[in-house]
Amino acid sequence: MQTNFTPQQLADPRIAEVDKILRRCVHCGLCTATCSTYVMLGDERDSPRGRIYLMKDMFETGADPSAEVQHHVDRCLTCLSCMTTCPGGVDYMHLVDHARAHIEQNGKRTLQERFVRGLLATVIPFPRRFRWALAFAPLGHPFKGLMRRLGLGSLAAMLDLAPKSPVSRSATYRGAGIAATKKERRAHVIMLAGCAQQVLRPEINDATIRLLAEKGIDVEIAAGAGCCGALVHHMGRESDAIKLAKANIDAWTKVLDRGDKIDAIIVNASGCGTTVKDYGHLLQYEPEYKAKAERIAALTKDVTELLTEFPLGPPARWSSLRVAYHSACSMQHGQRITDEPKALLYTAGFTVLDVPEGHICCGSAGVYNILQPELAGQLRERKVGNIRKVNPDIIAAGNIGCITQIEQGTGTPVVHTIELLDWAYGGPMPRGLEAFADFVKDVPGPNPEATRKPEDFVVR
């Protein structure tokens, strides 16, 4: 793509990066076939190629974002399916990040939009605040109709997504510290405890700690670490994201510099993992943090990547329950992790089902299902409809946002991949699977079925 930036504009390293990204696009349009919003809406401006033209014009003119640009960039899920498809390697992720930051600084939003975005940014990344907000959420349910009539549909969507039962603290996870294995020590990892996940479903962190400790891996949660910054970053609040990233980098660097061998920084929410693995880019203009951020990013792994390196062996419990594996966009497109979670589930004894149109987003996308509730709802119905086609007993995913989104549209239990693995290897039954207790049997000894060939693990 030909660009027309002036030398003065290109002196700005951010514009220089935008120019480099734009020049890789050859207008081929292959991205439109896999773009979730274009598939749903059929509007070129809601495709990666169309948004690229809109962003190019915005950056070249240096003008404040138009209502058109803001509208269509806001509709982008950042699912990154376009990057998986693109033959030219266009770095759409960082291009849209720059666009969102520019829109946040220079765009015009209504009072309602500013209020909702500010509320999300100041509540969800902070577990204590988020827990209190969810505690009071039931009081708002009678007013959801009024909220929608007043143009506050995002607040109503937030209430729809809130858990119906009270949230509680985890029985296992209590904050910073080390969960030391009682087995022969095979590795020592740092775990990102996260923000929303430890409030919405603390059992995921419990299951992660318990399974890794059972398999000889010490799990440490560093004091001072918190939200990864993804939520605010995707809303264009780059400075807020950098602040949160710096807090994590400082906390983890203290552990790394302590002298103990740290084998990895593990993340069990794929949206967070994509962001932490990108810390080197996010902090590239922060001289004091750039090298430290790159060090952190290089150590970061999704928990399923780590478990693939440390084979779990035969499961303690065996079943042939049918599990539809939903591969979160941030997992398959953001981190390019596709086979590892399915292989682990298969080895643990589950029948793994591929979901049709697996590349299409479920509509969660951080807080997209709050800011764009109508389109997110359509995407959820499409996803649930495709899952229904394979008739699963259970749905598994590696991202709390997807779990929360999908379970709003189905009666089939939705759990984290690590919860199923923990259950198979001796942990407690995941919440919502009580009806399947009789389908899972304890294994008295090594089960030869656990050594099935990996290439056979998916039912297509």
**pLDDT at residue 35 is higher than 80:** yes
- Of 197, 194, 128, the closest CA to residue 163 belongs to 197
Residue 450 has pLDDT above 80, yes or no: no
In this structure, are 181 and 116 located in the same domain?
no
Does residue 457 sit in helix, strand or coil?
Answer: coil
* Residue 79 buriedness (CB in 10 A; 0-12 / 13-18 / 19+): buried
**Position with higher pLDDT, 451 vs 365:** 365
The three-state secondary structure class of 165 is coil
Query: pLDDT by residue (tens digit) across 289-303?
Result: 999 999 999 999 999
352 and 437 housed in the same domain: yes
> Rounded to two decimals, what is the model's pTM?
0.90
* CB-CB neighbours of 454 under 10 Å: 14
Inform me whether the pLDDT recorded for 143 exceeds 50.
yes
Residues 204 and 296 in one domain: yes
The token pair that represents 174 in the structure block: 């209590």
| Model confidence pLDDT, tens digit, residues 41-59 | 999 999 999 999 999 999 9
pLDDT tens digits, residue range 300-321? 999 999 999 988 888 888 888 9
Q: Domains in the chain: how many in total?
A: 4
Look at residue 158 in the predicted model and tell me its pLDDT: 76
Token pair in block for residue 322: 């049918």
Q: Answer yes or no: is 172 within a domain.
A: no
Q: How many CB atoms lie within 10 A of CB 136?
A: 9
Q: Is residue 167 in some structural domain?
A: no
Confidence of residue 446 (pLDDT cuts 50, 70, 90): very low
* Domain membership flag for residue 53: yes
CA torsion 183-184-190-195 (nearest 10°) is: -10
Average pLDDT over the chain reads 89
Q: Are residues 151 and 181 in the same domain?
A: no
**Burial environment of residue 353 by CB neighbours within 10 A (0 to 12, 13 to 18, 19 or more):** buried
Closest CA to 287 of 252, 258, 246: 246
Distances (CA, A) of 432 to 164, 298, 316, 419, 437: 13, 36, 20, 11, 11
Whether residue 357 is found in the same domain as residue 425: yes
Residues 147-199: tens digit of each pLDDT: 777 777 777 777 777 776 656 555 445 578 888 888 888 999 999 999 989 99
Q: What one-letter code names the amino acid at 10?
A: L
pLDDT higher for 366 or 443? 366
Do 56 and 102 lie in one domain? The reply is yes
Last-in-domain residue among 254, 289, 307: 307
pLDDT at residue 410, as a whole number = 94
Return phi, psi of residue 143, to 5°.
-105, 10
What crossing angle do the helices spanning 153-161 and 373-389 adopt, rounded to 10°? 40
Q: What percent of the chain has pLDDT over 70?
A: 93
CATH code for position 71: 1.10.1060.10
Chosen domain end from 79, 106, 133: 106
Instruction: Flag whether 321 is in a domain.
Output: yes
Lowest-confidence segment of 201-205, 367-371, 444-448 by average pLDDT = 444-448
Q: Which tokens hold the place of 194?
A: 């996260």
Question: Residue 58 falls within a domain, yes or no?
Answer: yes
Domain assignment of residue 171, yes or no: no
What is the pLDDT at residue 460?
36
pLDDT of residue 322: 95
Instruction: Tell me: do 14 and 58 sit in the same domain.
Output: yes
pLDDT category of residue 141 using cuts at 50, 70 and 90: confident
Residue 454 confidence (pLDDT):
37
325-354: average pLDDT? 95
What is the domain extent for residue 207?
177-307
DSSP state string for 7-45: HHHHTSHHHHHHHHHHHH-----GGGGT-HHHHHH--GG
326 and 394 in a common domain: yes
Q: Assess whether pLDDT exceeds 80 at residue 329.
A: yes
Cα R_g (the chain), whole angstroms = 22
User: Tell me, what CATH number does 204's domain have?
Assistant: 3.40.50
pLDDT digit string (tens) for 417-441?
999 999 999 899 998 898 887 777 7
**Tokens at 381, concatenated:** 């119905």
> Does residue 432 share a domain with residue 353?
yes
Q: What percentage of the chain has pLDDT greater than the value 90?
A: 71
Q: Is residue 13 part of a domain?
A: yes
* pLDDT at position 155: 78
Considering the domain architecture, whether residues 41 and 78 belong to the same structural domain is answered as yes
Per-residue model confidence as pLDDT tens digits over 61-76: 988 899 999 999 999 9
* 324 and 369 belong to one structural domain: yes
- End-of-domain residue from the set 307, 332, 347: 307
**pLDDT band at residue 449, thresholds of 50, 70 and 90?**
very low
Per-residue pLDDT, 375: 95
Give domain status of residue 1, yes or no. Answer: no
Least confident of 87-101, 167-181, 359-373: 167-181
Q: How far is CA 93 from CA 79, 233, 418, 428, 437, in A?
A: 9, 12, 27, 38, 43
**Domain co-membership, 330 together with 448:** yes
Q: Is the pLDDT of residue 144 over 90?
A: no
The reported pLDDT for the residue numbered 166 is: 59
Q: How many CB atoms lie within 10 A of CB 417?
A: 31
Give the pLDDT of residue 169. 56
